[in-house]
Amino acid sequence: MGNLKKKRRLKMSQHKRRKRLKSNRHKKRTW
């Protein structure tokens, strides 16, 4: 059970990271 919870947390972290990357890319395109 503990392992499953850990895996779920990792997935969530990755999703958040992806969103942040997208935001950063958009910010860079200011010109």
pLDDT digits (tens, 9 = 90+) for 1-31: 566 666 666 666 655 666 666 666 666 666 6
Unique residue bearing structure tokens 């890319």: 25
For the whole model, what pTM was predicted? 0.20
4 vs 1: CA distance, rounded Å:
5
pLDDT at residue 10 in the model: 62
Name the token pair of 6.
């850990």
Q: Where are the alpha helices (DSSP H) in 1-31?
A: 2-28
